[in-house]
Every structure is written in structure tokens, then in C-alpha cells.
Amino acid sequence: MTTAITPCVLLLGGSFDPVHEAHVALANHFIDLICPDSLRVIPAGNPWQKTGLQAPAADRVAMLEVAFSDCKVPVSIDQQEIERNTATYTIDTLKSIRAELGPNASLAFLIGADQLQHLNTWQGWSELFSYAHLCAASRPGFATDAAHVPAEVAAAFAQRAATPDQIRQTASGLSFVATDLSVDISATAIRAALQRGDHAIPQLPPRVLDYIEQHHLYRS
């Protein structure tokens, strides 16, 4: 008897300081590929590899809500990492979501090529496959081929390579690399432009830019 895989949920984590068009493009790309039932966006609270988040957590959540308000699938903002008082590790988040949704849900965790290139520095990175699929997408300046990805990461992705249909139909343990997404946006550059008072930033969803201006975020 075949076990039904339900639901299929895409997971998108990040600092989102601020959320920008590359985040939206990454989510939409995999929505088109995998056809999930929903998207869960997970803003970081205290990411161990980053310091100095500029926007308060409440504002980052609000910006995510407006950025994904027109998404093709239902979207939820998961604040568990914000609510933690300890360092944020993706492995802990995936364990929590797996426990919440059960063993039969298909969970696909989305990352960019820049994250793929240093995935082996993440806490318990190889264990991530026990709780979710890992789906990476290209980014200009960050190649996804084996020559630019740590050998152990490249080997794991090659061994687990699957189609979007296979990812949707199984719970975890597979990988997929999309090489046809090319969006290069730097949150650091966006914050610098906002601090200069630049009000024409095409890399930001218009509603996010409106929110930033209304709430006077990222000013010197």
C-alpha cells in the first residue's frame, strides 16, 4: 500500500532584511516547478552566521506579508526562529516542522547558490536530508556546479538528485538544483541605497518599499 504524501510544503528561510525580489523569484520558481500546496516563509531570529539585523522582527514579518500577498499558493509566516532565545539553526527548524506536519508531508527547503556553496558549514548539514528535500537555485556569481561547491555537498546532491515530481511525491531526502534562475540582488546594497535616501529601488517589491518608507526603516 502506497503512503499518501500530503501536504507538499515549500520552506523558505532567510534574514529578509529586507525581503526583496530575489526571494520572491526563488519561491515562485519552485512553486512553478513543484506545484506545492503551500509556502512557509521562515524569518531568522538570531542566525549564527550573521550579525546585526537592522529591521526589527515585527517589521521583517510585516514586509514578508506584503511581499507574498499575491502568491500563487497559500503563504504562512513561521516565526519560530524569531521566538527562540538561542542561536538559530536550520536543522532545529526542520525537525520542528517535521514533528508538526508528520512523517508523510513533503517538505522542500529552498536555498540559493550562495548558500549551497557553504552548506557544509551549517550545523548538522547532512542531517537536513532526514527532514526535508533540499532545492537550490542558481545566482549570478555563485555557480552551482561541482567545481564551485564543496565536494561533500556536491556528492550528496548528486547522489540524491531527483525530479520535481519525485520531490512532491516523497517526504524528504532528495535534492534538486535549478540552473535557469538568474536574479542577482544584494540586501546589503539595498540597505545602503535606502540609507542614501534612494526611493527608486527596482529590486524591492513596491509594497515593501512603501512599508519601509512609511515606517522609516534603514535610515542612517
Instruction: Give per-residue pLDDT as tens, 144-191.
Output: 555 578 899 999 999 999 999 999 999 999 999 988 776 667 888 899
Whether the upstream peptide bond of residue 56 has omega within 30° of 0, thus cis, is no
Which of helix, strand or coil describes residue 141?
Answer: coil
Distance separating alpha carbons of residues 113 and 45, to the nearest angstrom: 22
Task: State residue 11's pLDDT score.
Answer: 98
Whether the upstream peptide bond of residue 150 has omega within 30° of 0, thus cis, is no
Residue 38 near residue 66, CB atoms below 8 Å? no
Mean of the per-residue pLDDT values of the chain? 89
pLDDT confidence tier of residue 45, bands split at 50, 70 and 90: confident
Candidates 71, 2, 11; CA nearest to 41 is 11
Give the rounded percent of residues in the chain with a pLDDT score beyond 70. 89
Task: State residue 7's pLDDT score.
Answer: 94
Return the bridge partners of 110, or none: 12, 135
59-63, 79-83, 131-135, 140-144: segment of lowest average pLDDT: 140-144
9-13, 87-91, 199-203, 209-213: segment of lowest average pLDDT: 199-203
142 pLDDT more than 70: no
Instruction: With residue 208 as reference, give the H or E element that holds it.
Output: helix 206-214
Domain boundaries, the chain: 8-214
Q: Given CATH 3.40.50.12280, say whether it is the number of domain 8-214.
A: no
* H helices present in the chain, as ranges: 21-34, 57-67, 80-83, 90-101, 113-116, 151-160, 164-169, 187-195, 206-214
| pLDDT top residue among 192 and 199 | 192
Backbone angles phi and psi of 75, in degrees to 5: -120, 135
